[in-house]
A and B are shown apart, each in its own frame.
Chain A
């Protein structure tokens, strides 16, 4: 392998500094006593105390987790079904429309998807009386629609590159298609299902636009809450929250890294 060039190292340093310094400063200033974001006054954990006393925020966290787990699960199921039908079923009627619909949410600006789903809710409510109000249910539907496109992308990539002779062997030995799917295909694509579920979960936890269009007064998600407080200005409580999120993510990734290294051995 060629030696790392000087310019390559410099560009990497610039890039990673750009990616990580803002987050680093965010975490450092979450321990700042002052409210001002640029002046270090002294060490304090008061913003963390304020954060954990904020009941509105804790309720929003709970709502967000509920919506994220529901929408991730349904997106995983629907996305997998879509991937199986696109990759394994050959031609069926309406296949072109189907493939267009499943990948369209990926390229559609979020404001448009949000607007479209809200109009649909309003129209359905007038026609059949459901959904009677906007809340967790409607946000879950929106997140599922967006996330199933991502799950589909991941699962279909996996379905396309694994060894099909296993499925063929099972079928030749007389297994019914449904048995082949559950005994052979599903275990083989399980890692990509997990990956899809996690991605869907993260997308749902992160979404402001769809949730703002589709949530009602009773269902404030965490991003909506953060977004409305950001519109008012800077508050170190958000720094504390950011530090906690970054901490959880880094711990998760480190554990995953260790698991991976162990499996490799």
Chain B
């Protein structure tokens, strides 16, 4: 069994999880048809087995599936003043006549109101550019770690994961203190005489990008590292022997062979980034509208629950579902290729 303990969190287990992730993120959930099923406990009493499945099943059914259908349902109702602040879709009119009223107004206003369009495009821009920055920095680090002395690799990986165990809010706060008008960067620049007035570094979309890159960097480094670690140096040497330039070798061999890790890392960063609420709320300005923030505002400040639900549905349809679909295609292609 070897060494295991609390340490596994940063070492083996994380890598195990990431191995799986980089081999086609979450593909296990799509492959039930193909994967070999181990049926060891089949001799067990059926009632025992049923109980084992039943508990988590019931939990997820109650607290995950039903809530999502509620979102879908409420997105078709109209907002009211009262508690709960939305109308019911189903209504008994008379004794045995059920009236079902779908209100598409929420979806229409998502399309018509430029505020939401802007929220969607700026979310895409911010999440996309921070994923790209994360990829560049994360790839550099993963490459560096995979080339380091094997003795040091575990420690280096651990150092990537360590900030992840400190609080998320504290990491965002760290950038808040650095970037604020009286912060360290501004006071340093003023001291050396480069600027006379503090720069507005905080409360814009660049600050949000920095925050996202800072918080989600481990999600990029780990899957990229796992593919780079598995990469056989023979390929690189062969390319060199055949007269390939270092840069071309890096591009054609190393990068193209680590593509699964790159895709997995980008998805792991992009998905939380697109729905991010905390980072734009703290580091962003009033004009940094991201879709998660718009949802929060509609829900808590405007108390327009149906519109918030419509936003959630749109978010799932536009961002989450396509990525899961793409992921599934990737996993299937990977399987066919092997």
Residues of B264-298 at the interface with A, using a CB-CB cut-off of 8 Å, are 271-272, 274-278, 281-282, 292, 295-296
> In the complex, are the beta carbons of B16 and A231 less than 8 A apart?
no
**Taking the complex as formed, is A148 at the interface, i.e. its CB lies under 8 A from any CB of chain B?**
yes
Give complex CA distance A158, B17 in Å.
9
Residues of B169-200 at the interface with A, using a CB-CB cut-off of 8 Å, are 169-178, 180, 182-188
Across the interface, which residues of A come within 8 angstroms of B98, CB to CB?
none
**Taking the complex as formed, is A58 at the interface, i.e. its CB lies under 8 A from any CB of chain B?**
no
The segment from B65-73, B99-107, B112-120, B253-261 that touches chain A is B65-73
- Least CB distance from A227 to B in Å reads 6
- Least CB distance from B281 to A in Å reads 7
> In the complex, are the beta carbons of A154 and B13 less than 8 A apart?
yes
> In the complex, are the beta carbons of B71 and A116 less than 8 A apart?
yes
> In the complex, are the beta carbons of A153 and B20 less than 8 A apart?
yes
In-complex Cβ contact of A157 among B17, B29, B282 (8 A): B17
> In the complex, are the beta carbons of B144 and A15 less than 8 A apart?
yes
Task: Write the residues of chain A forming the contact surface with B, with a CB cutoff of 8 angstroms.
Answer: 1-2, 4-5, 8-9, 11-12, 14-16, 18-20, 22-23, 25-26, 29, 36-39, 77-79, 81-82, 84-85, 87-92, 94-112, 115-117, 119-120, 122-123, 126, 141-142, 144-145, 148, 153-154, 156-158, 161, 164, 167-168, 171, 176-178, 180-181, 188, 191-192, 194-195, 198-199, 202, 205-206, 208-209, 223, 226-227, 230-231, 234, 238-239, 241-242, 245-246, 249-250, 252-253, 256-257, 259-260, 263-264
- Least CB distance from A187 to B in Å reads 10
The segment from B89-97, B135-143, B329-337 that touches chain A is B135-143
**Taking the complex as formed, is B206 at the interface, i.e. its CB lies under 8 A from any CB of chain A?**
no
> In the complex, are the beta carbons of A37 and B56 less than 8 A apart?
no
**Taking the complex as formed, is B55 at the interface, i.e. its CB lies under 8 A from any CB of chain A?**
yes
In-complex Cβ contact of B171 among A22, A89, A102, A158 (8 A): A22
Give complex CA distance A137, B319 in Å.
31
Give complex CA distance A10, B55 in Å.
51
> In the complex, are the beta carbons of A191 and B4 less than 8 A apart?
yes
Across the interface, which residues of B come within 8 angstroms of A156, CB to CB?
28
> In the complex, are the beta carbons of A84 and B141 less than 8 A apart?
no
- Least CB distance from B310 to A in Å reads 11
Give complex CA distance A148, B61 in Å.
13
Can you list 27 A-B pairs, Cβ within 8 angstroms, ordered by A?
Answer: A4-B148, A8-B148, A20-B159, A22-B214, A25-B178, A37-B182, A38-B177, A78-B59, A85-B49, A94-B57, A105-B64, A107-B324, A108-B316, A109-B271, A109-B276, A115-B308, A116-B312, A119-B70, A194-B8, A195-B13, A206-B169, A227-B169, A234-B176, A238-B170, A242-B166, A250-B162, A263-B5
Give complex CA distance A101, B168 in Å.
26
**Taking the complex as formed, is B145 at the interface, i.e. its CB lies under 8 A from any CB of chain A?**
yes
- Least CB distance from A197 to B in Å reads 10
Give complex CA distance A168, B88 in Å.
55
Across the interface, which residues of A come within 8 angstroms of B144, CB to CB?
8-9, 11-12, 15
**Taking the complex as formed, is B43 at the interface, i.e. its CB lies under 8 A from any CB of chain A?**
yes
Residues of B112-165 at the interface with A, using a CB-CB cut-off of 8 Å, are 137, 140-141, 143-145, 147-150, 156, 158-160, 162-163, 165
Give complex CA distance A117, B62 in Å.
10
> In the complex, are the beta carbons of A257 and B7 less than 8 A apart?
yes
**Taking the complex as formed, is B53 at the interface, i.e. its CB lies under 8 A from any CB of chain A?**
yes
Knowing A102-B60, A231-B281, A249-B162, the reply to whether A37 touches B45 (Cβ < 8 A) is no
- Least CB distance from A260 to B in Å reads 4
> In the complex, are the beta carbons of B312 and A115 less than 8 A apart?
yes
